[in-house]
């Protein structure tokens, strides 16, 4: 059970010090509340407008909020705040504040609030607090001008940088594409005989050459058999049959035309166009045969007819062998080129894939460059996303602060807190035994009897007089001392502000 009488006696004993703390804090709070200079606050409201011409990927609420955040950080830089303070003489021309102190004051008196979200307009509220209402309005106006200029420079600069980047990218990719095309062209020139695009032609040509070689070999075998048979007959009989003479291609064509004419005459008349055409062709073939003439007698075997026949056979054999050699060489080249086509197809495919990749990147860069040009034109013509002032700063007519009642109540509350803290602290630091309960709790013994201190009448009066004197001293001397401190040394509001600032609470 709480001993109220005991704690009341402790309260009365410590009352002078507690009153001193309460009075000091209350006086400091009251003086500060009375003498604190009036402050004026004004603000400007800014709105982020969407583009008027085209919608882009950068017009979302998040991007607008991010843009305002960047502008806020640029606005609150050291250079900007000091320039504004010096330009508008925020702290007066005779201010003794250092640069760092001015910077801290400017940041403390500046307030920037951003609002916005999904399906909501993105806005910014810029406010400033000063002891001079005109200074507050001038600072907010200067901040608004800086924000609008910074936004314009940022967006135009971003559009120009984007345009320059994509222009360089298009030029670079164009050079890469030209170089890749040159590599493909050089590869095709170096491997023109083994490209996959004419593989079917070479395969068909190979089949034709193989058939031709087979036919030439068959013709060679026939000619060699004729020559052997002609020599054998001549050795046996000493003569060469007239029909053993090999016919030239012109003679063979003439015989074929005559055979065709004999067949046609059985069907058509002599004056029919087809008969006349065949006769003209036969006449031309006869002139060609006569133009070939008959080779001169060589005298090698003693028989001119045999020599002529053998010479004609040997000439045709030589011609057929040359044709076979040429066809064989062409077959070897075709086989080599067909074998190399697979490797060339792989290499050419890799080059063409690289070309397609570069072409795709080039097309994307060209599209991005076109979009960057549009954005740059939109930004330079102020038709894109921009910040506008919907409510400019005005000179306030009524002070916005300080809240004098709140300051006074804060001083009284601080005094009460310090007084209560002093009471609790003294109680915690006091280890003396003053009650039987403390004797039992400390020594675990139960006293049989307790003899209290019996105060006499004189002692009681003396104690009351001392308490009254202490209270009167606290009530009279402390206010007089604070008044002397305020008038002779430093105003209490300035002293309190310095104490709070030194403690890091202001």
- Determine the pLDDT at residue 251: 66
Instruction: Return d(Cα 246, Cα 223) in angstroms, integer.
Output: 8
Instruction: Return d(Cα 43, Cα 471) in angstroms, integer.
Output: 50
Positive or negative torsion for Cα 478, 483, 488, 492: positive
- Determine the pLDDT at residue 22: 84
Among 130-134, 325-329, 464-468, the range scoring the smallest mean pLDDT is 464-468
| Nearest CA-CA partner of 44 in 127, 138, 129 | 127
| More confident: 467 or 43 | 43
- Determine the pLDDT at residue 295: 44
Split at pLDDT 50, 70, 90, the class of 19 is confident
- Determine the pLDDT at residue 248: 61
Give the H/E segment covering residue 41: strand 40-49
Split at pLDDT 50, 70, 90, the class of 297 is very low
Does pLDDT of 81 surpass 90? yes
Instruction: Return d(Cα 33, Cα 18) in angstroms, integer.
Output: 22
Among 21-35, 298-312, 332-346, 461-475, the range scoring the smallest mean pLDDT is 298-312
| More confident: 4 or 493 | 4
- Determine the pLDDT at residue 238: 67
pLDDT tens readout for residues 101-155: 899 989 999 999 988 777 788 889 999 999 889 999 999 999 999 999 988 888 8
Q: Is 412 exposed, middle or buried (0-12, 13-18, 19+ CB in 10 A)?
A: middle
- Determine the pLDDT at residue 298: 39
Instruction: Return d(Cα 191, Cα 224) in angstroms, integer.
Output: 41
Question: Average pLDDT for residues 397-406, to the nearest whole number?
Answer: 84
Question: Average pLDDT for residues 418-445, to the nearest whole number?
Answer: 77
DSSP for 254-270 reads: HHHHHHHHHHHHTTS-T
Question: Average pLDDT for residues 396-401, to the nearest whole number?
Answer: 85
pLDDT tens readout for residues 208-259: 888 888 888 888 888 888 888 778 877 777 665 555 555 566 666 776 777 7
- Determine the pLDDT at residue 166: 93
Instruction: Return d(Cα 469, Cα 15) in angstroms, integer.
Output: 12
The alpha carbon of 372 is separated from its chain's Cα centroid by a whole number of angstroms, namely 15
Q: Which two tokens stand for residue 207?
A: 């089949």
Question: Average pLDDT for residues 433-460, to the nearest whole number?
Answer: 72
Among 105-119, 167-181, 485-499, the range scoring the smallest mean pLDDT is 485-499
- Contacts of residues 69-76 at CB distance under 8 Å and 24 or more positions apart, as own/partner, are 69/114, 70/154, 71/147, 71/150, 71/151, 71/154, 71/387, 72/112, 72/114, 72/124, 74/150, 75/112, 75/143, 75/146, 75/147, 75/150, 76/107, 76/110, 76/112
Does pLDDT of 443 surpass 80? no
| 104 neighbors 85 (Cβ within 8 angstroms) | no
Split at pLDDT 50, 70, 90, the class of 299 is very low
Question: Average pLDDT for residues 73-91, to the nearest whole number?
Answer: 91
Q: Which two tokens stand for residue 183?
A: 């590599």
Instruction: Report the DSSP beta bridge partners of residue 40.
Output: 130
Does pLDDT of 287 surpass 90? no
pTM: 0.55
User: pLDDT exceeding 90 applies to what percent of the chain?
Assistant: 21
Instruction: Report the DSSP beta bridge partners of residue 124.
Output: 46, 114
| 155 neighbors 108 (Cβ within 8 angstroms) | no
Instruction: Return d(Cα 119, Cα 61) in angstroms, integer.
Output: 8
| 362 neighbors 173 (Cβ within 8 angstroms) | yes
- Determine the pLDDT at residue 351: 92
Instruction: Return d(Cα 51, Cα 377) in angstroms, integer.
Output: 12
Q: pLDDT averaged over the chain?
A: 81
């Amino acid at each position: 059970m709480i001993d109220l009488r005991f704690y009341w006696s402790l309260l009365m004993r410590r009352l002078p010090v507690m009153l001193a703390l309460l009075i000091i804090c209350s006086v400091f709070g009251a003086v500060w509340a009375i003498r604190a200079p009036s402050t004026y606050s004004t603000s400007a409201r800014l709105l982020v407008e969407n583009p008027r011409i085209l919608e882009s990927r950068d017009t979302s609420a998040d991007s607008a909020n991010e843009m305002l955040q960047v502008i806020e950080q640029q606005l609150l830089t050291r250079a900007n705040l000091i320039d504004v303070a010096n330009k508008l003489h925020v702290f007066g021309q005779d201010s003794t504040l250092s640069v760092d102190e001015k910077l801290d004051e400017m940041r403390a008196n500046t307030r920037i609030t951003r609002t916005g979200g999904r399906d909501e307009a993105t806005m910014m509220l810029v406010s400033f607090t000063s002891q001079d209402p005109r200074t507050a309005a001038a600072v907010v106006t200067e901040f608004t001008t800086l924000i609008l200029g910074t936004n314009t420079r940022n967006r135009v600069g971003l559009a120009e940088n984007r345009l320059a980047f994509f222009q360089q990218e298009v030029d670079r990719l164009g050079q890469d594409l030209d170089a890749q095309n040159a590599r493909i062209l050089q590869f095709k020139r170096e491997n023109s005989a083994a490209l996959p695009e004419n593989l079917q032609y070479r395969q068909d040509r190979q089949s034709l050459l193989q058939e031709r070689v087979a036919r030439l070999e068959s013709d060679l075998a026939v000619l060699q058999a004729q020559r052997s048979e002609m020599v054998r007959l001549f050795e046996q009989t000493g003569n060469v049959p007239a029909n053993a003479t090999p016919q030239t291609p012109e003679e063979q064509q003439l015989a074929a035309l005559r055979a065709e004419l004999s067949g046609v005459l059985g069907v058509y008349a002599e004056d029919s166009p087809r008969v006349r055409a065949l006769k003209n062709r036969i006449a031309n073939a006869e002139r060609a045969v006569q133009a070939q003439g008959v080779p001169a007698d060589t005298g090698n075997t003693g028989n001119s007819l045999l020599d002529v026949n053998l010479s004609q056979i040997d000439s045709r054999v030589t011609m057929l062998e040359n044709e076979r050699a040429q066809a064989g060489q062409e077959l070897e080249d075709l086989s080599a080129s067909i074998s190399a086509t697979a490797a060339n197809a792989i290499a050419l495919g890799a080059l063409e894939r690289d070309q397609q990749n570069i072409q795709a990147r080039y097309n994307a860069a060209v599209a991005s460059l076109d979009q960057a040009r549009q954005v740059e034109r939109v930004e330079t013509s102020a038709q894109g996303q921009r910040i506008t002032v919907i409510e400019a700063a005005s000179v306030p007519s009524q002070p916005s602060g300080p809240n004098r009642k709140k300051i006074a109540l804060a001083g009284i509350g601080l005094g009460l807190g310090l007084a209560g803290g002093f009471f609790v602290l003294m109680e915690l630091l006091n280890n003396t035994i003053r009650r039987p309960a403390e004797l039992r709790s400390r020594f675990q013994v139960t006293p049989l009897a307790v003899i209290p201190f019996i105060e006499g009448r004189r002692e009681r009066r003396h104690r009351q007089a001392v308490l009254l004197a202490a209270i009167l001293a606290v009530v009279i001397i402390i206010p007089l001392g604070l008044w002397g401190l305020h008038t002779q040394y430093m105003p209490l509001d300035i002293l309190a502000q310095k104490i709070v600032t030194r403690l890091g609470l202001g």
